Structure 1
Amino acid sequence: MTALVAVSSHLPETVAVAELQEPLGLDDQQVRRFTRLYGLDRICKSPLSEAELLVAAAEKLDGLRGQEDRVKYVIRAKGMRTTAPYPVSPVHQVRETLGLRHAQTLSVADHGCATGLLAMDVAGTLLAADGDPDALALILAGDKTFTPFTQWVQDTSIMGEGMAAILVAPDGDRDTVRGYASRIHGRTDGVIDLTPEIAKHARKIYQDALAEVVGAAAEEAGIGIPDIDLVLPHNVNRVSWTVAAKNLGLPNDKFFLDNLSATGHCFCADPFINYQTVTELGLLKPGDKYLMTAAGLGQTFAAMVLEH
């Protein structure tokens, strides 16, 4: 089964939400909502380019050093469709810098902040088809907020520039993928902007759609939702996960939200940044079943169950 070999992240210096009030055009009420209600405090921001941020994350991967020749695929997981101005290609810059010129390179997108989990599934599929038990895939997750559209989701979250690098193997004896589910409740015209109409629809379906993919991933893993030991969500806001915990019948303390106030919502890198933190804290025991889950613009929902 697809396995996580190593995960690293780069978290830039942070700025307070209050310092972003003028740049984002927030009023006082919105600042209070984001900080007091949603639990956001500081947001990762960096003057570095997207490629430099991704390299900073990948260079911390101990499992990559000396194993570069085993990397068959470099997969860029993008929360946004466009993450750099044409003709800049951050993923190719990263591949060259890391010395992975022989690796096939591709990007996955259009699942919004659920794209990181899609990239995990794509990596597992490619490695299984490759047939080489020693092959590896490197996933690069996270986005640079280089346009006003990418800096915040109105009345929902503020985006950070933390990045994650994930090394994936076709099989392993820990952190193996047991179940994955993804659903798109999008529009035929492909519009993802949160217009009042789309935002209303997104709020209406959000919790039920999230519960459906969590249930589907758990079923594929052969467990029930109550059997999940820890949830590593994307850091959208505290309220959404408080409601989700009640809707899923899980206690609030099973949701790891400690990074939410410290990083902001770092697109599809969040679950992996959270994974690195909980492993460093020793919060996962051998055999624990943990859930990575996320929702993205365009009403895309995903959940993945792994066994530590």
Structure 2
Amino acid sequence: MMTLETLASYVPQKRLEVEREYQRLGLTQNEARVFSRMYELSHCPVEEGSEEEMLLKPCKELFQQAPHIKQEVVLLVYAHTGTISGVWGQNMASLLVRRLQLPNAVAIGTSSNNCVSIFSALSLAKHYLQNALPNSKALIVVGEIADSFELRIVPNVAVIGDAAAATLLSLNGKGPSILAHSIHNYPGYSQGIWLPTNSDAYRDFAANYQLRLQSVIQDVLRQADITMDEISYIIPHNVNILIWRRAAEFMNIPIEKIFLKNISETAHCFGADMLINLHSLKNSEELHSGDKVLLISAGVGGLFGTSLLLYS
């Protein structure tokens, strides 16, 4: 069974105040008020350096305590949302392997599942480690910079913040075990962020959002043979507070189970949300042995994903 050995995250200190600095986000004042007051997306972290340096920060933190682990890393998976990451023509995954000096690591990037790509990365890591030498580890890196208005704002849905996270995984290490994970893909939304908000497809996606979120959760619970009542915490993507309140009501989940403390400070950080939130929850010392934790995300293009962790 794959375990999540160590975890690190980085969120830039610089924050834009959405309601006050709305023009820098490409918003009207009224749009900014909706995002800030209704969706509680009041702040947006902005990275002033390069995407490469931002991604390296959580990775370096992981290796600071045990530099020798670099020899055991056989795979680096960079999960990102935008098709292009960093400089055009540059392979960010390979660049990270070189900068981190990982002599035995194969570099892979994945972005086809947008904000659910973190779960694709987990699947890639598991399959690769199953055919690797004992004690081998995989490094998953996730995050990117929203460097245009189109990336910074998902209309009527989310404000996008800059951030990065990284985690080391193995098949025989210590840490929370990954009991199950699943991705559901629904056709008809291939326009992604360019899907017109007045289209039938957009309305269909919104109308079925909660049901499909529930479906992927139930899939993972069935795989692990547990019930929702046994879940201690739900770690969401930070799309907005309103969606999660509706989800809690739709699925009859106590809102207190859903970790929502970061939404107002980090906004939605593409696929990095879950690891950032998990890192925050871990640092809060509220997790205990035996706790079961659900990581949940949805992505434009009709994608829904979740993973189930068991803390020991």
One fold, TM greater than 0.5?
Answer: yes
CA distance in 1, matches of 2:268, 2:88: 25
TM-score, normalising length from structure 1? 0.95
1:216 CA drift (Å) = 0.5
1:118 CA drift (Å) = 1.7
CA distance in 2, matches of 1:32, 1:49: 30
1:236 CA drift (Å) = 0.5
Match of 1:4 in 2: 4
1:173 CA drift (Å) = 4.5
Q: 1:127 to 1:237 in 2, by over 3 A?
A: same
Code of the residue aligned with 1:46 in structure 2: it is E
Identity of aligned residues (%): 25
- Larger displacement relative to structure 2 (207-216 or 55-64): 55-64
- Indicate the SS of the match to 2:130: helix
Contact 1:64–1:167, Cα closer than 8 Å, also in 2: no
How many residue pairs get aligned? The number is: 306
- Indicate the SS of the match to 1:303: strand
Residue 207 (1) aligns with residue 205 (2): no
Contact 1:138–1:166, Cα closer than 8 Å, also in 2: yes
1:64 CA drift (Å) = 5.3
CA distance in 1, matches of 2:25, 2:150: 10
Contact 1:51–1:91, Cα closer than 8 Å, also in 2: no
- Indicate the SS of the match to 1:60: helix
Q: Spell out the pairing of 1:1-308 with structure 2 (5 A cutoff).
A: 1-13=1-13, 14-62=15-63, 65-130=67-132, 132-187=133-188, 190-192=190-192, 193-196=194-197, 197=199, 198-308=201-311
1:19 CA drift (Å) = 4.3
Contact 2:52–2:86, Cα closer than 8 Å, also in 1: no
1:218 CA drift (Å) = 1.0
TM-score, normalising length from structure 2? 0.94
- Indicate the SS of the match to 1:93: helix
- Indicate the SS of the match to 1:220: helix
CA distance in 2, matches of 1:37, 1:271: 22
- 1:155-191 Cα offsets, whole Å, 9 max, x none, are 1001011100111112345311111111111338x32
Moved over 6 A (4+): none
Contact 1:3–1:177, Cα closer than 8 Å, also in 2: yes
Code of the residue aligned with 1:115 in structure 2: it is S
Contact 2:294–2:309, Cα closer than 8 Å, also in 1: yes
- Larger displacement relative to structure 2 (91-100 or 232-241): 91-100
- Indicate the SS of the match to 2:62: coil
Root mean square deviation of aligned Cα? 1.5
Unaligned ranges ≥5, structure 2: none
1:88 CA drift (Å) = 2.4
CA distance in 2, matches of 1:117, 1:55: 21
1:27 CA drift (Å) = 1.8
Contact 2:74–2:104, Cα closer than 8 Å, also in 1: yes
Contact 2:6–2:175, Cα closer than 8 Å, also in 1: no
Unaligned ranges ≥5, structure 1: none
